[in-house]
Structures are given as structure tokens and as C-alpha cells.
Amino acid sequence: MTTVYVIGLIKNDYSVIDIFWPIGFLLLAYFLLDGNGSTAQILIKIFVTIWALRLSSFLFFRIVKHGPDKRYKELQAGWGKRHYVHAFFKVFMLQGAFMFLIGMPIITAKLVFVENKYFLFIGSLFWLLGFVLESVADWQLYFFKQKPENKGTYLMSGLYKYSRHPNYLGEILLWVGIAILAMPNAYMPLTILGPMVLTFALYKFSGVPYAERNHRGGAQFEHYVANTGAIFPKIGFESETKHP
């Protein structure tokens, strides 16, 4: 994170952290998991690699095509001349701390003491479901935003008909899968901590609150919010495609 912070200073663009965030987990997996014949470790390394490369390349493509995330420029402007100090602690070190906590399933995977085929199967299933869900949701939202007529509107169709943020749901599910793969071990509470911290962060920190900050107030959107789960779906809601 310190290295990425220096890159951000050189480029005067703190949004580089978005590209390198998944790569941090990839490095964590490759530094900590030596494989040593453990199926769980091998699967975790494979799954983290696929997830990290997919997400990092997607974010890189989005930044190249549409520019960096505006929230970092907004934060930088709000922090004034000492923005570099605020950014170091409030962006890079804070996300580094979240990376450490969310990555607990990777860290504790070295401590698996029994290879259990049921954990391997269920964990792989959760990861696959989450990965597909996150990937499809990301591209549905991306293509929706490419249409000029959708500017200022909110996607409420496809996967977004059932969840306001199905990409976040996919992210949680795939990390639950990685946590299951890392069981059983002597530090299972720490393993479970990973997806729990991720869920908290997406609900309360930089996920849902940030994504919805500019859409509050419209009647259709408020109806959508009232009847559709922020991340986990509610059943039986028929949504409109978008709101004015």
C-alpha cells in the first residue's frame, strides 16, 4: 500500500488504489501459500488469481476509458494542501488494514489441519457462484452506463432487479467460498472474520453508501430502495428499469 501510495503521489491520482487493491490479495496468496500438496491452498491461489486479474483488468479498462473515480478528486480537494497526509492514512493505510482483515482466509489457509472434500466442494461452489454473479453484474452496469439516455438514472433491471448491488453480493459469496476452503483450522474465528469485515465495509463504509449517494430523493428510486435489498435480495419486487 505504501508503494501504491507513492505511485498515486507521482501521478497525482489516488484512484490507482482501485487497480492495485485486488493485486494486494494476489500477492498475499503467493507469498503466504506455498502449496505443499494442500488442495485447499492450491484452490485458493487459483481462485484469488482469477478474481484479482479479472477485477483489476476491469477497473483498469474502466479508468482508461472513462477516467479515474471522481470520489478521490473530491476527497483530495476537500483535504486541501495537506491532502497527501490524509490520503496516506485515510485511503491507503485504511484499505491496507481492510485488506489484512478481509484476507484472513488466505492467511489462515496455511493452518488447515484436515483436507475435507465437503469443505472443498462447497467452498468452490460458493466461489464460482460469487465470481459469475460479480462479473455479470459489473458488465450489466457498465453497458447500462454507456447509453447516453441512461445518464443520471439507476439500473433496476437484470440482476439489479433483485439486488441493488449484485456485484457486492458476488464479492461476498466468493470470499465466503474462500473462507470455507480455508477450514477447518485452529483459527476458524479469524477465517470467518474475512467475509464478515467485507460485508460490513460494503454495507457501511465504501460500498452501498457511496454508490447511492447521488440517487436519493426520487420517488421511483426510494420505492426501489424500500422494496429491494441493498445487497441480499428481497423476494417479490417487480422493479422499473430506471427512474427520472
Q: What is the pLDDT of residues 154-189, one digit of tens each?
A: 888 999 999 999 999 999 999 999 999 998 888 899
For the stretch 77-98, pLDDT in tens is 899 989 999 999 999 999 999 9
Describe the crossing of helices 39-66 and 16-32 by its angle, rounded to 10 degrees: 170
Q: pLDDT: is 86 or 240 the higher one?
A: 86
Dihedral angle of Cα 73, 55, 102, 160, to the nearest 10 degrees: 90
Model's pTM, two decimal places? 0.90
pLDDT at 239: 42
Cα torsion through 168, 138, 128, 231, rounded to 10: 20
Is the pLDDT at 128 greater than 90? The verdict is yes
Domain ranges of the chain: 2-227
Tens digit of each residue's pLDDT (9 = 90 or more) over 25-81: 999 999 998 766 689 999 999 999 999 999 999 989 888 887 777 888 888 889 998
Q: How far is CA 28 from CA 18, 24, 105, 230, in A?
A: 17, 6, 11, 30
Q: How far apart are CA 20 and CA 31, in angstroms?
A: 16
φ and ψ at residue 185, rounded to 5 degrees: -145, 175
Closest to 25 in 3D by CA, of 106, 134, 130: 106
Among 11-15, 60-64, 136-140, top mean pLDDT goes to: 136-140
In this structure, are residues 227 and 163 in contact, taking their beta carbons and an 8 Å threshold? no
Per-residue confidence (pLDDT) for residue 234, from 0 to 100? 82
Rg of the Cα trace of the chain? 19
Q: Helices (DSSP H) in the chain: which residue ranges?
A: 2-11, 16-32, 39-66, 70-79, 83-87, 94-102, 104-108, 117-146, 166-181, 188-204, 208-211, 219-227
Q: Average pLDDT of the chain?
A: 89
Grid cell digits, residue 73:
478528486
Interhelix angle 16-32/2-11, rounded to 10 degrees, is 160
| pLDDT at res. 98 | 95
Please compute the mean of the pLDDT values over residues 186-205 and round it to a whole number. 93
